[in-house]
Structure 1
Amino acid sequence: MASHKTALVGRPGRRKAAVRTQRQTRGVTVTAFTLDTATRIAAAGQSAAKEIGTAMNIAVVDSGGHLLHFMRMDDAWLGSVDLALKKAKTSVLFRMPSASLGEISQPGGPVYGIERSNGGLISFGGGLPILDADGRIVGAVGVSGGTADHDVHVAKAAVQAY
């Protein structure tokens, strides 16, 4: 049986914007990643994308890589929908930025060819893990629609909103 408690989080002096739920299951505390939090993260990414003038697809997944929230900005590339989802999944499954997986999956690298696993992964920038205050991965964001550098910029802005 799991017990639940909800905690408001935020920086001192600022409005407390996010609600994270913690549940105690068999002596282990798990931080649940809520839809409200995922929506706020995607909105922060959208703001960053607007600032650089690029329409983006933004996916937010939970710690198991399951989609919690998806946003496709007007005129964002349809081909980038799948890329955003796979960047988020890649990041959460391997607990690292998608670009970091790309660094070790080059020809001759220790995990060359890994992109074909897990139903398809993405090994270039735009997927970032989201960590709780204790350093545990609670989800990930995947962004696609611009250059890899733009995607990373927007993903960082989204993660910072957590």
Structure 2
Amino acid sequence: MRVSDAERDAVVRRLQDAYAEGRLDHDEFDMRTHLAMTSKTRDDLAAVTRDLEPVRGRAGSALELAEPTGEDRMLAAAAHAVAVPTLFVGPLVLMLVSGKRSEFIRRQAREAVNLQLTLLLVTIVTFGVGGALYAVTWILSAVAAVFALAGQGFRYPWILRLVK
């Protein structure tokens, strides 16, 4: 049976999680991503992730299989937007409260928390000079909020993923 773009995207997200966990090196991640994006059938697609163990706590989970609802998308967008005035506190509260019912909200709030913690560490290490990066993060937070409203995940580049 032929695969859809949504099925390919789900496999790429699983590969990204495996890469973030260190189960794939960069070259293998690139190769498998290419294979996933060019797969025509479900058998071809299944072969890309066959040797990977299920992602911790999420394999077969109804939370991951369900499309994010309008409320989920709004709360995920709020997690990115509320990070601008509250730093990591607002997204952390959303992650702990609303993340229990929706994996989408939890992932997006976790990204916002990790971005803010990374910026805080950079600012401390550079004795305040890194604080100039906060202006850039306002733009990134707005972009991430738009992605979340559309029901798509967003991963900030070049951040430390301290909160799992």
TM-score (norm 1): 0.30
**Structure with more of its chain in strand, by fraction:** 1
TM-score (norm 2): 0.29
**Structure with more of its chain in helix, by fraction:** 2
Query: Which has the higher Rg, Structure 1 or Structure 2?
Result: 2
Q: Which gives a bigger RCO, structure 1 or 2 (Cα 8 Å, sep 6+)?
A: 1
